Amino acid sequence: MEESPVRVEGLSVQRISSSWRVVQILLYVATLVGGAAVFLSLSTTTRDFNRECILYAEPLLEVSQLEENGSSLITVLLESKWGTFSVCNYCTYVSVASAIYAFIWSWFYLLCSNNKKKTRSMLAHPSSIVIPSLVFSVIFCLLMVLASYLLTKGFYVFCRNLKQATGVDECKTLQTYRWEGIEDGSSFYSLMFMAQVCGWLTAALWLIAAIVLFVRCGTATDFPYKTVAPPTGEGEPLAEGSSKAGASPSPPPGCQSPSDEEKESAPLVWPVTTKKRMLLL
C-alpha cells in the first residue's frame, strides 16, 4: 500500500521565518558594534593611563597653574592607588566575547536557509539553532549587565575622587587640563562615557534578542507543520456505502458477479498436475 502524499503548508511559514531571521541578524550586528565600542573605549583609556585600571581608582594628584598660558596642570603621582586589573579585564573580555559570539550567531543565521534543497551548501533550518542561541543570548545579557554596572560604578568612583582632589565641579572639565605622569588625559571622560552607553545598549540588545528568540519558540514560526492530503487523487470524499480500504473492489461495468445459484450449479474443476496427466495417458 502506497503512503499518502504529504503536503507542507510552508509558504507563509517560510516568509515569517525569513523575517525573523533578518531581525535576528540585525540585532546581532548591532550587538557586535556595541561590544567592539566598549572594548576600544576601555582599552584606549587604560593605555592612556599607563596601562592602569581607572575603575574604582583613587589617584593622588597635584594641581598647578602654568605661567605661560594660565592653564592648569595635573600631575599624577606614583603613590596613586589604581583599580584592580580583574575588574577591567572582566569588562574587556566580556565585551570582546560578546562581539565574537554576536558575529558567530549572525553568521549562522545568515547561512541558514528555509529551503531544504540548499541544506548541502548551507546550514540546516533555523529551528536547529534557535534554542542554543536563546541560551547564549540570556547568558551574555547577564554578563553584559554586570560589566556595564562595573563600568558605571567604577568610573563614578574615579570621577568622584578626581573632583575631590582637584576641586572641580564636573569631571568632564578635567579633559581640558594638561596631564603629567600619564600618556594622555584629554579624552578619558568621552571614552568612558561611550563605554558605559555602549555597554548598557549591548546588554539591552542581548535582552531583545533573547525575547525575540523566546517568541519564536513560543509561536513555533521556525517549526513548519504538515497536513496529510486526502487518499484519493482528486481529493473528493468517499460516497456513502462505498467500500472501505482493504475491501475487494467492485467489478467494472459490463461484468457482473455470478449469483449464488450459478455458483452451486457450476461443475467443480480440480487442478490436475502434470504427473497425473501422464498417468492418465
**pLDDT band at 56; cut points 50, 70, 90:** very high
pLDDT per position as a tens digit, 116-143: 444 444 455 556 778 888 999 999 999 9
Asked, for residue 2, whether it belongs to a domain, the answer is: no
Highest mean pLDDT among 64-68, 73-77, 89-93: 89-93
Asked, for residue 234, whether it belongs to a domain, the answer is: no
Residue whose C-alpha is closest to residue 98's, from 43, 131, 46, 139? 139
Q: What average pLDDT does range 50-77 have in this prediction? A: 80
Q: What average pLDDT does range 184-191 have in this prediction? A: 90
Asked, for residue 1, whether it belongs to a domain, the answer is: no
Full domain range(s) for residue 56: 20-116+123-226
Angle, CA of 117, 122 and 125, to the nearest 5°: 70
The answer to whether 147 touches 155, Cβ cutoff 8 Å, is no
Residue 47 pLDDT more than 90?
A: yes
Asked, for residue 261, whether it belongs to a domain, the answer is: no
Asked, for residue 238, whether it belongs to a domain, the answer is: no
**Residues forming beta bridges with residue 73, ordered by sequence position:** 64, 178
The mean pLDDT value of the chain amounts to 76
pLDDT of residue 198: 96
pLDDT of residue 66: 64
Residue 58 pLDDT more than 60?
A: yes
Total domain count, the chain: 1
Cα-flanking dihedrals φ and ψ of residue 112, to 5°?
A: -65, 150
Asked, for residue 278, whether it belongs to a domain, the answer is: no
**Residues forming beta bridges with residue 61, ordered by sequence position:** 76
pLDDT per position as a tens digit, 188-203: 999 999 999 999 999 9
Q: At what angle do helices 188-219 and 11-48 cross, to 10 degrees?
A: 160
At residue 63, the 3 state secondary structure works out as strand
Asked, for residue 196, whether it belongs to a domain, the answer is: yes
Residue 113 pLDDT more than 60?
A: no
**pLDDT band at 26; cut points 50, 70, 90:** very high
Task: Report the alpha-carbon distance of residue 48 to residue 198 in Å, rounded.
Answer: 20
Q: What's the one-letter identity of residue 126?
A: P
The answer to whether 194 touches 172, Cβ cutoff 8 Å, is no
**Which residues, 6+ apart, have CB-to-CB distance to 161 below 8 Å?**
57, 58, 59
The answer to whether 72 touches 177, Cβ cutoff 8 Å, is yes
Q: How many CB atoms lie within 10 A of CB 216?
A: 24
C-alpha cell belonging to residue 15: 516568509
Residue whose C-alpha is closest to residue 110's, from 21, 211, 17? 21
Higher pLDDT, 241 or 193: 193
**pLDDT band at 240; cut points 50, 70, 90:** very low
Asked, for residue 153, whether it belongs to a domain, the answer is: yes
